[in-house]
Structure 1
Amino acid sequence: MLLRLPTSLSEAQRSLAEGAVPVGGATLVWALWQRDGFPEQAMSLRELPEANLIERQALGAAVLLHQVDDRVPEVLRRAASTVGTGAVRRTATVGGNIVGSTLRCLLPAALALDARATVLDRDGTYETDLGEVVAKRHLLLTLRWHAPVVSRYYKAPGEAGGPPPLVVATAVHADDDGRHRLVVAVRDGYEVISASTDGRSGAEQALQDLERTGLVSLPTPAREAVHREVTGILGGPADR
């Protein structure tokens, strides 16, 4: 197998056009390749600058999970720090977790941040929402968002090999007009749903508003966790 390591977007685009299969840290596909056969050529974005950003408002798809630090908001940093074991976090990438994994541990955090995705295909790059990225399994380059006022992350205890543990990610955003908006994203099982509401009226009103969104379909334990997290974030300290 030939592994391509493009250093520019044009080179990455050309590799895709020539049939190279995108691969992140290979933590998810290696066993499949050993079973089904390796592709003739693969492509890693680990040398591509656009895919290696770590900033307060941007994170590249080729960044390894153990590299996600306090340069990004708390909700995303904590999400990355709880994925798998230390060995997994030293090889798994942001893009592989969001696009390639069925668990998508970082997805609730990215949704809470209202992140937008820059993706690459054979025609070039463009920006889209995370729903399209996940549904169509695009080649993710970069996540970008506006820094939140405050963010929180909760992950329920789970057992190795067991069902995916409950995740509740929350963030309060200051919109252009100065209004505060609360975004909540929940992973329940393999499903991830999100909703937003006005964050200025306090936790009680926000929770009432969220009961009129898709979050109302969550089972009782998940709704109780949402209640705790919303109550905490609307009365907690500001993010860094």
Structure 2
Amino acid sequence: MLVRLPTSVSEARECLAEGAVPVGGATLVWATWQHEGFPELAVSLRELPEANVLGRETVGGAVVLRRIDGRVPDVLRLAAASVGTGAVRRTATVGGNLVGSTLRCLLPAALVLDARATVLEPDGVRETDLAELVAKRPVLLSLRWRTPLTCAYRKLPGAVGGPPPLVVASALHAEGDGNGPLLRIAVRHGYDVLGAAVSYGTGTGTVTGTDETLHALRSTDLAGLPAAAWAVVDSQIAALTPEAMD
């Protein structure tokens, strides 16, 4: 297998046009390739500057999880720190986790940050949302978001050999539209990741307390979550809502 290491976006596009298979840290595909055969040509973005950014409101698709630190919001930092073992985090990448993994450990955090994805295709670079990123699995160059007012993350212990552990992520955003802050919640339950958002404030159509917020969320896609998930959601809302920050 020949692995190309492009140093420019144009060179990376050429690799994709030639049929190169994208590969990050190869933590997910290596065993499959050993069993089914290796591709003739692969491409890694580890030398591409645009895929290695790491800052307050951005992270590149080629950034390994171990590099994600206090420069990003806690919800994303804690999500990255919870993935696998230290050895896995030294090689697994943001793009591999979001696009190549069925677990998508970073997805709840990215959803509550309302992140947008910049993706690379043979015919160019474009921006898209997380729903398309997960569904179509293009090559991820980077994620961008706006810094939330505050955020939280919790991953419950999972049984060995059982379903993926329950994950709850949340973030409170200043929307600036007169309707008060916007509370975003995302939950990984099994292999499904569900998200919801409610306005929290004093404007028309908003909710103004923890109980009202929970009631509003129970009318969203989160309605069918088990009691264990709602217990975590409840505790995060109590910690994140404006009253708790006063």
Q: Tell me if TM exceeds 0.5.
A: yes
Q: Percentage identity across aligned positions?
A: 61
1:133 aligns with 2:133: yes
1:212 aligns with 2:200: no
- Give the alignment's Cα RMSD to 1 decimal: 1.3
Q: TM-score, normalised by structure 2?
A: 0.94
Question: Which stretches of structure 1, 4 residues or longer, exceed 3 Å deviation after superposition?
Answer: 235-238
Q: 1:141, 1:205 → 2: CA distance?
A: 39
Tell me what 1:165 maps to.
165
Q: 1:23, 1:160 → 2: CA distance?
A: 28
Which sections of structure 2, spanning at least 5 residues, go unmatched? 202-207
Which sections of structure 1, spanning at least 5 residues, go unmatched? none
Q: 2:21, 2:221 → 1: CA distance?
A: 36
Stretch deviating more after TM superposition (171-180 or 15-24): 171-180
Size of the alignment, in residue pairs? Answer: 238
1:123: how far off?
Answer: 1.0
Q: 2:85, 2:158 → 1: CA distance?
A: 13
Residues 2 and 41, structure 1, Cα contact 8 Å, conserved in 2:
yes
- Matched residue of 1:216: which SS? coil
User: What is the one-letter code of the residue matched to 1:198?
Assistant: S
Residues 56 and 73, structure 2, Cα contact 8 Å, conserved in 1:
yes
Residues 216 and 223, structure 1, Cα contact 8 Å, conserved in 2:
no
User: What is the one-letter code of the residue matched to 2:123?
Assistant: D
Q: 2:160, 2:107 → 1: CA distance?
A: 20
| 1:73-222 map, 5 Å | 73-177=73-177, 179-200=180-201, 201-222=208-229
1:47 aligns with 2:54: no
Residues 150 and 237, structure 1, Cα contact 8 Å, conserved in 2:
no
1:236: how far off?
Answer: 4.5
| 1:16-35 map, 5 Å | 16-35=16-35
- Matched residue of 1:78: which SS? helix
Residues 239 and 245, structure 2, Cα contact 8 Å, conserved in 1:
no
1:233: how far off?
Answer: 1.6
1:237: how far off?
Answer: 4.7
